[in-house]
Amino acid sequence: MRGGFGIIDRPTKQEQLVSSGMRFAWSLVALVGASVINTGRPLGAQTARPTTDTLYMPRTIKAAYGKGTRSFDGRPGATYWQNRARYTMTITVAPPARSIRGTEEIVYANNSPDTLRIVVIKLFLNIHKPGAPRANGSPEEYLTSGVQIDRFAVNGASQPWNADAPVFTWRHVQLPTPLAPKDSVRLTFDWRYDISRLSNREGMLDPTTFYLAYFYPRVAVYDDSDGWDTMDFMDAQEFYSDFNDYEVAVTVPANYVVWGTGTLLNPSDVLQPAILQRFNQSLTSDTTIRIATRADVSSRSVTRQSENTWRFRATNISDMAFNLSNHYVWDGGSVVVDTVSRRRASVQAAYNDTASDYRNMVRYGRHALDWLSRNWPGVPYPYEKTTVVQGPAGMEYPMMANDESYPDTVFSRFVAEHEIAHTFFPFYMGINESRYAFMDEGWATTFEYLIGSVDLGTEAASAAFKQFRVGSWANARSPLEDLPIITPADALASFAYGDNAYGKAALGYLALKDMLGDNAFRAGLHEFMNRWHGKHPLPWDMFNTFNNVTGQNLNWFWDAWYFRNGYIDLGIASAQKAGNGYSVAIDNVGGMPSPVDIEAHFADGTTQRFHQTAGIWAADRRRAVVTIPTGKSVQSLSLDGGIWMDANPANNSWTQR
C-alpha cells in the first residue's frame, strides 16, 4: 500500500483525515438492534446449480496452460518453472552526503526451456530522472540524475552500458553468449545514485535518516506467461520480483544503526555490549524492550565508534530494503508465530523519539503477527522478523514497513496491520503486483477488515471500511470506476486503480467468504497459498484452486465480480405473501453479486433481518426470488448491504400498500 490508502493521486488524503478531526469516525454507522437470520443460500429457495461459465483468459496465459506450466485445477503444471538469482552486494552510505555507492554480483539461473539472448535489468530509481514517465507530476526535490552504471560485466568480461537508452526504469542487455536452459550467467555492476530529497517509498527521511529501497540493479522476472517483464515503473503501480538469495553488506559511519531485510549476521561487531544485550533479549521477549533509547543515541553509546559494516543475509525472498539513521530510537520484542514449532518472530520499531504513537509500535506489530498467523490468513508468519520504520510511505517490503506517525494511535495500528498483512500477499507468493494489484492489495485489505473487526468491533470496523475503502467507489460518477477488476493494473490510473486494487477486490473476497462459510473459504485460501508459495501465481490459478478445493464451479461468481463492468445496486422489485412467509424479488441492477440483509418491519413494531449471501445470484445474476419465513404481517421491507454499499439506495425499500 502506498500512502496508507492505495489511491495514488490522493496524496493528501491522510492529512485531510487527521486535520479534519474525523479520527476515523469509527462510530458513524450503527446497525439497528434487530435479530438476524443468516442462511447459506436464499431463504426458501432450492440450491442453485452452478453455471459453466468460462473465464476470459488472455492469449499469452492460454499459451502457458497449453504448454503445461499451469493446470486447470489450479496447481502448478507438470512443466512449471521459474528463474532465480543469487545477489551479493556491498553498499556504502555516509549521510548527510546523498551519494549511495554499490557493487554487486548476480548469478542468474535460467530454469526455463528457452535460450535467453538478452536479459532485462530493472533500474527503478531512474524514476527520479528528469523526463522519466511518471503517473504524477514531481517537484524539483524529487528529481535526481538517476542510477549511474560505472562498470558492467558478464562472466567477468566488461561490457558497454547504454546509458542513453530510450527507456528509463529497465534495459535490454544483449548477452555475449546466449544463456542456455539450465545454465547460469554472472553479472557484475558498479553503480551509484543520489538519494532523492523527497521521500516516499524510498529516499531521505531527514538529512541523516535514509530509506533504501529498489536501490540496486536487478534482473527482471522472466516467466512462463509473458516472458520478460518490461513494464515501466511510473511510481504508481507496484512490483514483480523473483525469489532470490541475498547477501548485503552496508557500510555506514559510526553511530548509524542499519535496520533491514534478512538476518543481521554480525550484531556483536557493530553494537556496543549493552545495546547488544538488549537486542538479544528482545528476540525472545513478550514485552517491548527499549533497545536504544534517546539517551543512548545522544551519548553515542549504540554502535561501535568506527565505520561499521552491517551484514545481512536472506534466502528465497523477493527483495531487500534498509533504513539507516544516527538518531532514531530502537525498540524490540517478539511473538510466537507458529504454535506447533513454537517459532518466534522478532518485532522491531525505529523512529524519532517525538513520535509518541511509535512507542506502541512493537505491541501493534506483535498483535498483527499473532493474529494473522492464527486467524486470517491463518498461516504462520514466514519470516524471522518485521521492522516498522517511521517514514512517509505506508509501504510494505519483505520484513519491513515504512509507515507514517499519527496522533491517532488507532490509525497507526490500522496502517501497521495492513502493511504487515502484505507478508502473505504478495511476498509469500511472487504475485505480479504491477499487473494484478487486486491479488496483493485486495487480500491485504481483506485481512485489514477482518483484524479490524476484532480490534474495534464489527460495527466500527465496518464504518471505517465503508468510509475509506468503499465510499469513493459507491458514490463515483466516472465510468473508469466500473472497469473490471481483472483489467491489467498497469493500464489503470487515478481512482480506477485504487478502487480495483483495494476496496472492490476485498469486497469480492469477503462476499466469497460469506457465501462459502469460513471452513470452505479457509480451505481454498490455504491450498492456494500452499500450492503457490515461492512461485508466481496468476489470477486464474487462484480462481481454479478455489473451484477445485471447494468442489464448486464458482466461475459465475468470479466472472461477475472480477471480469465484468459493474457496481453494487440492488433493489426490491416486488414482495407478496407466499405460504408461511413472503416472497421477495430482488433485482441486481449493478451486476455485482453481493450479499444483502433484508430487514422486515412488522405490524407489531418489531424488526428482523434475513441475511442473503451472494449465492442467491448463482442461478440468475439479474433477479433473485427469496422467501422470508415469518408468520407476522410485514408492513415494509428494506435492503442493507452493510460494507457492500449500494450505489442507489432509492430502490432499496418496499411498503405494503
pLDDT digits (tens, 9 = 90+) for 87-96: 999 999 999 9
Residue 558: strand, helix, or coil: helix
* pLDDT range class, residue 313, cuts 50, 70, 90: very high
Judge whether residue 384 has pLDDT over 90. Answer: yes
Cα–Cα distance measured from residue 284 to residue 273, given in angstroms and rounded to the nearest whole number: 18
Q: What Cα–Cα distance (Å) separates residue 257 from each residue in 308, 309, 391, 417?
A: 9, 10, 16, 25
| Same structural domain, 295 and 237 | no
| Same structural domain, 302 and 413 | yes
- State if pTM tops 0.75: yes
pLDDT of residue 578: 94
Q: To which residue does cell 507458529 refer? A: 338
pLDDT in tens, 583-606: 999 999 999 999 999 999 999 999
Q: Is residue 161 part of a domain?
A: yes
Q: Is residue 342 part of a domain?
A: yes
| Same structural domain, 196 and 258 | no
Cα–Cα distance measured from residue 290 to residue 268, given in angstroms and rounded to the nearest whole number: 18
Residue 639: closest CA among 586, 567, 577: 586
Cα–Cα distance measured from residue 94 to residue 29, given in angstroms and rounded to the nearest whole number: 51
* pLDDT range class, residue 49, cuts 50, 70, 90: very low
Last residue of a domain, one of 242, 268, 299: 242
Which amino acid is residue 349, in one-letter code? Answer: A
| Same structural domain, 292 and 414 | yes
Tell me the mean pLDDT in the region 93-112. 98
Last residue of a domain, one of 375, 403, 425: 425
Cβ atoms of 187 and 230 closer than 8 Å: no
Instruction: Provide the residue range defining the domain that includes 45.
Output: 34-50+568-655
Q: Is residue 27 part of a domain?
A: no
Q: To which residue does cell 449471501 refer? A: 613
Last residue of a domain, one of 425, 458, 477: 425
Residue 204: strand, helix, or coil: strand
DSSP assignment string, 460-485: HHHHHHIIIIIHHHHT---GGGGS-T
| Same structural domain, 40 and 87 | no
Cα–Cα distance measured from residue 79 to residue 157, given in angstroms and rounded to the nearest whole number: 34
| Same structural domain, 87 and 234 | yes
Q: Is residue 73 part of a domain?
A: no
| Same structural domain, 261 and 295 | yes
pLDDT of residue 477: 85
pLDDT in tens, 17-35: 333 333 333 332 232 233 3
pLDDT in tens, 549-581: 999 999 999 999 999 999 999 999 999 999 999
| Same structural domain, 282 and 398 | yes
pLDDT in tens, 258-280: 999 999 999 999 999 999 999 99
| Same structural domain, 288 and 366 | yes
Please, which residues have CB within 8 angstroms of residue 366's CB and are 6 or more apart in sequence? 286, 333, 334, 335, 347
Cβ atoms of 86 and 101 closer than 8 Å: no
Q: Is residue 130 part of a domain?
A: yes
Tell me the mean pLDDT in the region 628-643. 97
How far is Cα of residue 3 from the mean position of the Cα atoms in its chain?
12
Cβ atoms of 187 and 219 closer than 8 Å: yes
Q: Is residue 598 part of a domain?
A: yes
pLDDT in tens, 61-84: 999 999 999 999 999 999 999 999
Kindly report the CATH number assigned to the domain that includes residue 151: 2.60.40
* pLDDT range class, residue 234, cuts 50, 70, 90: very high
* pLDDT range class, residue 2, cuts 50, 70, 90: low
Tell me the mean pLDDT in the region 530-552. 98
| Same structural domain, 43 and 166 | no
Tell me the mean pLDDT in the region 371-400. 98
Q: Is residue 491 part of a domain?
A: no
Residue 627 CB-density burial (10 A; 0-12 exposed, 13-18 middle, 19+ buried): middle
| Same structural domain, 338 and 412 | yes
| Same structural domain, 266 and 332 | yes
Cα–Cα distance measured from residue 232 to residue 220, given in angstroms and rounded to the nearest whole number: 11
Q: Is residue 235 part of a domain?
A: yes
Average pLDDT, the chain: 92
Q: Based on the structure, what is the number of domains in the chain? A: 3
